[in-house]
Amino acid sequence: MAPSADRLGYWGQPTSTLDWCEDNYVVSFYIAEFWNTVSNLIMILPPIYGAIQTYKDGLEFRYVYSFLGLAAVGIGSWCFHMTLQYEMQLLDELPMIYSTCVFVYCLYECFKQENTLSLFPITLLLFFSVSVSVVYLQWKEPVFHQVMYGALVACLVMRSIFIVTWVYPWLKPMCYISLSVFLLGFLLWNIDNLACDSLRSTRQRLPPVVGAVTQFHAWWHILTGLGSYLHILFSLQIRSIYLKHRPKVKDNDPKHTCRLCKGYLTKKESD
């Protein structure tokens, strides 16, 4: 990510340890990175909707927390990219660790009795979260955060592949779609970092709306937000099958049901 020799705006000089490839305060005087900011809506609105529906349908609170955790990441990321202030950067990065720990707990504890809590994984993940937070607050190195986040994602990937390979192979499409969407976002994130100078030069020759399509960090938000949302649904599907609930994703039309029309599961009576 190239350091930005951009204009100053409402929030003043950036204090964050990261400044992404989008030119600052170009679209709005009040938003440092406009496209990187508004792209977080996909990580805010759908997860809030998912949390509400999960609560209404009487599903376990761990999945309500999963959706709310993803929404918290989106809100933190919105604040970070809007201001480029260090405190807001922490509001983005630390919830990434915390929410992914919730994802890990849900996926690794999906074959347990309903509404039970396993203290050992909770303690382990809590210790991990606190340790990462303390180290990162003292050692302000973004690569450390990225490696720790990547380790959690790797745990999710390995567990997901194990489940669809050995337990519920018919869930492979759902698993691999969510994984592919997330990995595409990660690819664009890397391109945005490695080819920032070329991307900035290209944007200067394009109309603003067309140039917005080359904001690959914004695409990272969109794709990882979608991939994470699908992962929560995947985890919910596994849990519902194990508990012998009949998972059904609802459509607006009461006559229809579809697998991913609206993105939440309805708990039915156990078989």
Residue 141 among known ligand-binding residues? no
Rounded alpha-carbon distances, angstroms, from residue 68 to 10, 50, 53, 75, 127: 29, 9, 12, 10, 21
Residue 60 among known ligand-binding residues? no
Residue 36 among known ligand-binding residues? no
Angle, vertex CA 224, rays to CA 65 and CA 138, nearest 5: 70
Look up residue 92 and give its two tokens.
């983005």
242 three-class SS: helix
Residue 256 among known ligand-binding residues? no
Residue 24 among known ligand-binding residues? yes
CB 121 within 8 A of CB 105: yes
Q: Is 263 left (phi over 0), alpha (psi -120 to 50) or beta?
A: left
Residue 231 among known ligand-binding residues? no
183 three-class SS: helix
Residues 6+ apart with CB under 8 A from 212: 35, 218
Q: Which parts are annotated binding residues?
A: 19-20, 22, 24, 33, 81, 217, 221
Q: Which parts are annotated binding residues for Zn(2+)?
A: 81, 217, 221
Q: Which parts are annotated binding residues for Ca(2+)?
A: 19-20, 22, 24, 33
